Chain A
Amino acid sequence: MHHSATSAIAHRPLALINARLIDPAQAKETLGGVLAIDGVIRDVGASVTRANLPSHAEIIDCGGDCVSPGLIDMRAFIGEPGAEHRETIATATAAAAAGGVTTILARPDTNPPVDDPAVVDFLLRRARDTGRVKVLPAAALSAGLNGAEISEIGLLHLAGAIAFSVGARPIRNARVMRRVMEYVRDFDGLVIHFAEDPDLASEGVMNEGELASRLGLAGVPHEAEAIMLDRDIRLVNLTRARYHAALVTTSLSLEVIARAKEAGLPVTCATSINHLTLNENDIGDYRTFLKLTPPLRHENERRALVAALASGLIDVVVSDHNPQDVETKRLPFAEAEVGAIGLETMLSAGLRLVHSGDISLQRLIAAMTIRPAEILRLPQGRLEAEAPADLIRFDPDAAYVVDPLALHSRCKNTPFDEARMEGKVKLTMVAGEIVFEAT
């Protein structure tokens, strides 16, 4: 596996002890510790105590804080190449480390797009040299993201792309999508698609409904997402490609996903932390930091998403990190860019759902660790012996107020500006090496 923070140099054994161990593969948590040696977890559980550790091990007493695998974020825009004014791998991974994210799947809609093995190679080398956490490239499904020709799937795969995706521009042509799926299946690759009918959504800038009408803004109907998702699922049925819906945000889409899963199709899906914790009312007086695609929906939809996350119908939670500079956000709502940063606040925001009693801590952590790991076929995201020692320590009850200026991302377009949060990452470890420690 290519990534930045591993190194062949043997470090001192490092142990996190006296912790609530959140193993996403287990329903219940245990009190104990984790011992990391040479970048992998050597031992984990109640037996890892101060008394049982190698004498030269560095010991961190967690004082009852949670320890879980580091988070895996399946959708983030990291700026490089081509949008370094918005984000760089250095700033994105600094934000990730501070937010407990140890693996990022980078969006391919960069400039140039990730449709060439050389770009994959560039990203891997830049991540190795400048990144604090693991950055994995997703390559473009179509050449130039044009939705017309298949990109060099095989060569991209050989270069190290671990999934094939689009940015926010779906493949409109069903024939092309079918061919892409068939071709990716031959490599047993994963298709990640952003499903939104571009014609039906075209004019819309927020969720269609009463609120959009009152604000005088054009809306995006729920059907824009469901129609494209429905088409995709039928093509999965035809091609049997492994398919992951990048973002589902409505109950209509959840019905489509539920049917696909019941039929045993190789389909998984994610939703964003924003859609789980915010709704269209948060737009308020035309707040452009809340302008997202797909748009924030009605509270009923948010509730449906939370329930689907609790039941496991939604597999994964993503940050959908999308840094936008002030110039493109301080515009009238319809003209402003879409997107919000989220790497650094994903866990804190997700813990709101735990504190409100809507989902268990295990389920939340699983949707940010082991489920993405399974879908992407990664060894990390697990709290078990021989797994990579990508670990985080967090206090789920530590209260703080989000200060945009203190965030590590190059852009400050957080929808949680001045929001009160409970739950803070205290330490992040990638391959046995500490990459972030709260001061």
Chain B
Amino acid sequence: MSQFRAAQPNGTYLPNPPGRNSAANADGAKHSWRRQLRSYKTVPMADPPKTFHFPHRHLLGIEGLSAKDIKLLLDLAEEAIAVSRQVEKKRATLRGRTLINLFFEASTRTQSSFELAGKRLGADVMNMSVASSSIKKGETLIDTAITLNAMRPDIIVVRHAQAGAVHLLAKKVDCAVVNAGDGSHEHPTQALLDALTIRRNKGRIEGLTVAICGDIRHSRVARSNILALSALGARVRVVGPSTLLPSGIERMGVEVFRDMRAGLKDADIVMMLRLQRERMQSAYIPSAKEYFCFFGLDEEKLKIAKPDALVMHPGPMNRGVEIDSAVADGPRSLVREQVEIGVAVRIAVLEALAQHLPNE
């Protein structure tokens, strides 16, 4: 397993179109970014620049991507936001191509986000939610992969409850594979959309302090974000009770906090993670009440972070467990913007992978 890449010193971002983010950054504390977003001009309908080079056939994780690769995807996504805000939202990048959404785990936002992204690029999109029943029939992941492969899709987007399942599937199919979450391993498009959300609101990622809080142990979002944000030069902290921190986390290039107040001090971004209800039954934490008291983000704890700190959550939120409703819906919450940017990031990923699709 490769070591984490050192943060790139040239992590600065050139806004596109120029000027927008510098303005947003200057008075970010006043949350004028919302107005900025609303006044954001649409760009003329155009195919994306053909000059970029994304050197990967699949997107299986942030692991293995260079800072350059990540920035390219963020830049492509930035353009895609504009497309998504036009009345005419379609591009032709994937016209005639087939995209299969293969979800072994239930998902609303990720699946619909990929579906929209595929459709906006002109692809035929098929959604397959593989219920556990067909697994019980004895059909394995590999069987499913081979069956789908015979239908000659161009891109398969996969979510699976087991770490490494997407890697396994990628070895058995001929098309491009996108990891939409594999167990507790990675969720790369979530990390990309988080990174872009941060960049658009803070104007940069390098040098920011990002506190990722909650169930780090079971979170693929945390792992992908640690990799992506570290590569882009952020200082990443993880905050949670010891039972929800994976062994060896301190060797992943992050600062570890067991006390949320200490972990939030001077943070620019507070990224909350979903706490699954089952964690109480398996002796990770005593109760939701106790968890909220020590690790739930309420307005009082948020005050410890920087005055202009922003709050993120990959969703779906457990209000009153890891986040207080007032914070979740408050002026510093980026949760809704994360969803919008999610579509753009997935458009960018599909465009980048489309480069490698065979044309004959």
By a beta-carbon cutoff of 8 Å, the part of chain A in contact with chain B is 208-219, 221, 281, 284-286, 327, 330-335
**Those of B1-34 within 8 Å (CB) of chain A:** 1
Contact of A332 among B63, B162, B186, B247 (CB under 8 A): B162
Please choose the segment from B37-45, B164-172, B199-207 that sits at the chain A interface, where 4 or more of its residues have CB less than 8 A away. Answer: B164-172
* In contact, A286 and B164 (Cβ under 8 angstroms): yes
Bound CA–CA A142/B165 (angstroms): 37
Apart from A215-B164, A284-B1: 20 A-B pairs, beta carbons within 8 A: A208-B247, A210-B248, A211-B248, A214-B1, A215-B163, A215-B185, A216-B164, A216-B183, A216-B184, A216-B185, A217-B185, A219-B247, A285-B164, A330-B140, A330-B168, A331-B142, A332-B162, A332-B163, A334-B163, A335-B162
Bound CA–CA A209/B251 (angstroms): 10
Bound CA–CA A331/B138 (angstroms): 12
- B274 beta carbon closer than 8 Å to chain A: no
Could you list 8 examples of A-B contacts with CB < 8 Å?
A215-B185, A216-B182, A216-B184, A218-B184, A286-B163, A332-B168, A334-B163, A334-B164
* In contact, A210 and B182 (Cβ under 8 angstroms): no
Q: Which residues of A contact B167 (CB under 8 A)?
A: 285-286
- B141 beta carbon closer than 8 Å to chain A: yes
How many residues on the B side are at the interface (Cβ–Cβ under 8 A)?
25
Bound CA–CA A85/B223 (angstroms): 40
Q: Which residue of A lies closest to B249 (CB)?
A: A213
**Those of B132-158 within 8 Å (CB) of chain A:** 140-142
Bound CA–CA A379/B185 (angstroms): 52
Contact of A213 among B140, B142, B248 (CB under 8 A): B248
Q: Which residues of B contact A335 (CB under 8 A)?
A: 162
The smallest C-beta distance from A157 to any residue of chain B, in angstroms, reads 42
Query: Given A209-B248, A281-B1, A286-B168, A214 and B223 touching (CB < 8 A)?
Result: yes
The smallest C-beta distance from A414 to any residue of chain B, in angstroms, reads 18
* In contact, B141 and A331 (Cβ under 8 angstroms): yes
- B131 beta carbon closer than 8 Å to chain A: no
Bound CA–CA A235/B140 (angstroms): 44
8 nearest CB pairs, A to B: A216-B185, A210-B248, A286-B164, A332-B162, A213-B246, A216-B163, A216-B184, A332-B165
The smallest C-beta distance from A203 to any residue of chain B, in angstroms, reads 8
**Those of B213-229 within 8 Å (CB) of chain A:** 220, 223
* In contact, A216 and B186 (Cβ under 8 angstroms): yes
Bound CA–CA A215/B142 (angstroms): 20
- B160 beta carbon closer than 8 Å to chain A: yes
* In contact, B252 and A214 (Cβ under 8 angstroms): yes
Q: Which residues of A contact B162 (CB under 8 A)?
A: 332-335
Q: Which residues of A contact B1 (CB under 8 A)?
A: 211, 214-215, 281, 284
Bound CA–CA A221/B247 (angstroms): 9
Bound CA–CA A215/B182 (angstroms): 10
* In contact, A331 and B140 (Cβ under 8 angstroms): yes
The smallest C-beta distance from A398 to any residue of chain B, in angstroms, reads 33
Q: Which residues of A contact B186 (CB under 8 A)?
A: 216
Q: Which residues of B contact A327 (CB under 8 A)?
A: 140
Q: Which residue of A lies closest to B140 (CB)?
A: A331
Bound CA–CA A284/B160 (angstroms): 19
Q: Which residues of A contact B246 (CB under 8 A)?
A: 212-213
For A208, A210, A327, which residue has the most chain B Cβ atoms within 10 angstroms? A210
Q: Which residues of B contact A212 (CB under 8 A)?
A: 246-248
* In contact, B164 and A332 (Cβ under 8 angstroms): yes
Bound CA–CA A211/B249 (angstroms): 10
* In contact, B247 and A209 (Cβ under 8 angstroms): yes
The smallest C-beta distance from A210 to any residue of chain B, in angstroms, reads 3
For B163, B164, B168, B223, which residue has the most chain A Cβ atoms within 10 angstroms? B164
Q: Which residue of A lies closest to B183 (CB)?
A: A216
Q: Which residues of B contact A214 (CB under 8 A)?
A: 1, 63, 223, 248, 252
Q: Which residues of B contact A334 (CB under 8 A)?
A: 162-164, 183
Q: Which residues of A contact B160 (CB under 8 A)?
A: 332
Bound CA–CA A335/B186 (angstroms): 18
Q: Which residues of A contact B252 (CB under 8 A)?
A: 210, 213-214
Q: Which residue of A lies closest to B246 (CB)?
A: A213
Bound CA–CA A332/B158 (angstroms): 13
Q: Which residues of A contact B163 (CB under 8 A)?
A: 215-217, 286, 332-334
For A211, A214, A281, A286, which residue has the most chain B Cβ atoms within 10 angstroms? A214
Q: Which residues of A contact B251 (CB under 8 A)?
A: 210
The smallest C-beta distance from B159 to any residue of chain A, in angstroms, reads 12
The smallest C-beta distance from A277 to any residue of chain B, in angstroms, reads 19
Q: Which residue of A lies closest to B224 (CB)?
A: A216
Q: Which residues of B contact A286 (CB under 8 A)?
A: 163-164, 167-168
Bound CA–CA A215/B246 (angstroms): 11
Contact of B141 among A209, A213, A217, A332 (CB under 8 A): A332
Q: Which residues of A contact B247 (CB under 8 A)?
A: 208-210, 212-213, 219, 221
For A215, A281, A331, which residue has the most chain B Cβ atoms within 10 angstroms? A215
Query: Given A286-B167, A327-B140, A332-B164, A216 and B248 touching (CB < 8 A)?
Result: no
Q: Which residue of A lies closest to B247 (CB)?
A: A208
* In contact, A330 and B142 (Cβ under 8 angstroms): yes
Q: Which residues of A contact B223 (CB under 8 A)?
A: 214, 216
Q: Which residue of A lies closest to B251 (CB)?
A: A210
Bound CA–CA A218/B142 (angstroms): 22
